[in-house]
Chain A
Amino acid sequence: MSSLSRDDVAKLASLARIEMTEEELVNLASQFGSILDAVARVQELNLDGVKATSHPQPLENIFRDDVVQPSLTPDQALSGAPAQEEQRFRVPQILGEAE
């Protein structure tokens, strides 16, 4: 029986940049055991020597000529911005201490 503690979930939530409420952390921790048991079935088979598939198709790099193609105007690109300033995305403080 797998399990994950409330603190484990809190760590994962912080890695995933989601500020969960205490109630969410406790709930998710209580559900996680049965979810992990269900997905842990992938470990039942002997998979030695089996190749991993990350994608159903063989992927290769695709190149195009280095010429300018039509793209979004600055106004279009900024049309969904939560905040903007002088044709740029305005974002909260990124570097240094916030407070």
Chain B
Amino acid sequence: MIKNTAAQMSAALEKGETTSVELTKLHLDRISDVDNKVKAFLHVDGESALKQAAAVDADRASGKKLDPLAGVPLALKDVLAQEGVPTTAGSKILQGWKPPYDSSVVTKLKAAGVVILGKTNMDEFAMGSSTENSGYGPTFNPWDLTRTPGGSSGGSAAAVSAFEAPLAIGSDTGGSIRQPAALTGIVGVRPTYGAVSRYGLIAYSSSLDQAGPFGRTVLDAAMLHEVIAGHDPRDATSINAPVPAVVAAAKSGDVKGLKIGVIKQLQGDGYQIGVQARFNESLDILSSLGAQIVQVDCPSFEYALAAYYLIAPSECSSNLARFDAMRYGLRTGDNDGASAETVMNATREAGFGREVKRRIILGTYALSSGYYDAYYGSAQKIRTLIIEDYKKAFVQADVLVSPTSPITAFKIGEKSEDPIAMYLADVATIPVNLAGICGMSLPAGLADEDNLPVGFQIMAPAMQDQRLYQVGAGLEAALVSKWGGYLISKAPALGGAK
């Protein structure tokens, strides 16, 4: 049962073939069996999950009309506030903090009856591409436990690929949903900026952050997308427009006549051979399904990584000022008449990890007088050029595509001492964030040289998220029929009981 898709679980619940309590118990059992190896979760609340499940079962028994995902379990990235449940964003500075309110994503999940199993591990404050920057230790890739699951939403991606949950929520500031989805062989979507409320999402870089769904199939991700998207007056950047019909698009999958643009700048040098091979193979499949493949040129994408690593650290240096040891979170050194400033300095030193400090310092530098124009100012202009490149490209094509990650899952420790090498993991995903548009990663197969999953990235204009699902579903159906099953069924068993 736990290997089923969320759509199948939903159907089984509706037909009365199983109950949410039973489904939740199976997933809690799986977590106790395998999470000591995978370490996807920071906090599991079995009792609360079973209570939520029992409430959905009771509602169903009483004939109440329920959301399709009612009773289906989910893993929640620890960056989202959930009332009364420890929420740390992977940081020691928030250890033990229990939010007094729900984020809007959690409010929507609860309203839909989705059962929240627990909170998943992440790079501290979502800063990283491997989940090694968590203040609570790394998460391990279920495909190979010596490798990272990517990041920053590595815990969510690992939970879904290890069958600990059929669905998960992540957040994507520079690729933090799509890259871990690619590295763990599942589907991950970064919706259009403003499509999903950021209220209660602990901020890293406010102009780039966006929460989104993980699933093992395109349809599962679409079902979760519909639950969490929609206008929210509590987020001033929330888009006040109807949610694109992503579930209908995922059920259609018709790509005939669509123009698919291959971005010249996001392939070639630096892309692993097996990644490029699976990408090209997917293009051939799309072409055989009746799509038209065109080449598009986005010259300023070459500068996207540099712009991102100025804009995101600049915004984070401001956002993380709120961790001041005064109102919540850690406070150290509050003794012998120490001043507020001394306590603040000591607390931030003790509570923040290495990468967070590095980015705060970089952002402080980029925003300091004398350097502002040369660094932050230039980065903002590059951002404009990237938006213009996308605009031109979307005249030539309905969707744009690239490999999601230039490489497959890398070894734990391989890049953790080299920040620049780690930053390169996001080279193909970052342009989407800078432009505020939407992107999906779905499995394209295994790289021949290492037998690890490769992700295929699809990008669409703002609020055209349904195009991701339309093309993703078409490609997925063809690949699944070629493979004789979903890619994730090839993942190792992890020695779990069921």
Contacts and interface: CB of A to CB of B under 8 A. Distances in A.
From B343, B374, B383, residue with most partner A Cβ within 10 Å: B383
A46 B100 CA distance: 49
A16 B364 contact: yes
B73 interface: no
Chain A interface size, as a band, is 35 or more
B419 A31 contact: yes
Given A54-B380, A89-B326, A98-B342, A12 B365 contact: yes
Nearest to B387: A53
B236 interface: yes
A77 B100 contact: yes
A87 interface: no
A19 interface: yes
A74 to B, nearest CB: 11
Contact of A57 (B97, B239, B345, B375): B239
B384 interface: yes
Contact of B364 (A12, A34, A42): A12
Interface string B371-392: 0001101111111110100000
B368 A15 contact: yes
B326 A12 contact: no
B436 to A, nearest CB: 2
A42 to B, nearest CB: 4
B383 A92 contact: no
Contact of A18 (B348, B382, B435): B348
B326 A93 contact: no
Nearest to A99: B337
B361 A82 contact: no
Contacts of A50: 381, 384-385
A20 B334 CA distance: 17
Given A79-B100, A81-B327, A59 B381 contact: no
Interface stretch (B220-228, B302-310, B478-486): B302-310
From A14, A16, A62, residue with most partner B Cβ within 10 Å: A16
Contacts, number: 173
B184 interface: no
B337 A98 contact: yes
A31 B358 contact: yes
B349 A20 contact: yes
A53 B383 contact: yes
From B236, B330, B435, residue with most partner A Cβ within 10 Å: B236
Contacts of A54: 207, 380
A62 B237 CA distance: 10
B229 interface: no
A13 B365 CA distance: 10
A17 B99 CA distance: 24
Nearest to A19: B345
Contacts of B326: 82, 89, 91
B349 A19 contact: yes
Interface string A1-31: 0001000010011111111110010001001
B49 interface: no
A17 B326 CA distance: 13
Contacts of B348: 16-19
Contacts of B92: none
Given A9-B361, A17-B348, A92-B343, 16 more contacts: A12-B368, A13-B361, A16-B361, A19-B342, A31-B358, A35-B362, A38-B420, A39-B310, A42-B303, A42-B379, A44-B303, A50-B385, A80-B97, A91-B340, A92-B342, A93-B338
- Closest 8 A-B residue pairs measured CB to CB? A56-B436, A80-B328, A98-B339, A82-B331, A52-B380, A76-B100, A19-B345, A41-B306
